[in-house]
Amino acid sequence: MIKKSFVIFTTLISLLHIGCGNSNNLDIAKTIIFTNPETKISDTSNDAFTQQLYAEALDYEPLLGQSGTQAHMGYWSGAGNHGNLVRVLDAINNSTAAEGSPTNKAIWDEGAQTSLQYPSYITMTEEHWYERGNAVDGKATIFGIEYTDPFPVTFALADQIWGQYSQRYADMATLLYQATGLKVEVWCFVIGAKANRIFYTYELPKLEELEAAGVVNVHFAKTSLSDWTVASDWTDGTANAPTPVQ
């Protein structure tokens, strides 16, 4: 029988300087999981994975499964846009709803809120798909150490795995809509994103489907400082997505 994965644990000892003349020693455990890419492609290709992500989101934020909650989902691609999305998601989650208005809760592909990562996302990072997809002569460099990958990965496979993960995340919008009874508000920071990367290749087509089904309202940031409460800061509708960089 072919093993689905091979796990390696390494430890990095680092010195954290706190203030002037003070320091603490931290033991930071690093996990490397060499999952067979064929197994991961199969796992991330079906609705069960979406259900898994949704269950993990509810564990962190039960209000996402309650009627009347206004769910928000975030997307980003391109240099600098990660932090911009985090700012908006945090603003949504820290907002206070006016009396009689829905409570706002925001998630993204990494987790519920920006500090609570899905176990499934953590596993994806521990599988180091892109480091393995950039292997040289069969050697993948992870945390500065070369490893022989028992299940070699190409960059195209790494993209497919992350792309399918992102699509299953996008499919969570249907579950959120069914649970809350409200269309999901989707916020995208993709200024300068490349046409061949995950957003335009995998996520936008899925958002187009969800928009057509009446499940989501999609908004694209006009600038890095776009505020979710200011309508003029956004362009609405998947048909008006920014032109990607070739």
Considering the domain boundaries, does residue 141 fall inside one?
Answer: no
Residue 18 lies in a domain: no
Going by C-alpha positions, the residue among 64, 114, 56 that lies closest to residue 88 is 114
Q: Which domain holds residue 67?
A: 40-125+155-240
Average pLDDT rounded to a whole number, residues 208-229: 98
- In this prediction, residues 96-106 reach a mean pLDDT of 91
Mean pLDDT value across residues 76-86: 96
Confidence at residue 29, expressed as pLDDT on a 0 to 100 scale: 54
Residue 182's CB is within 10 A of a number of other CB atoms, namely 15
**Domain contains 97:** yes
In the chain, how many domains are there? Answer: 1
Share above pLDDT 70 across residues of the chain, in percent, rounded to a whole number: 89
Residue 6 banded pLDDT, cuts 50, 70, 90: confident
Residue 10 domain-assigned? no
Residue 131 covered by a domain: no
92, part of any domain: yes
For the chain, give the mean pLDDT: 91
Confidence category of residue 21, pLDDT binned at 50, 70, 90:
very low
d(CA 24, CA 18): 8
- Domain presence at residue 235: yes
The answer to whether position 17 is within a domain reads no
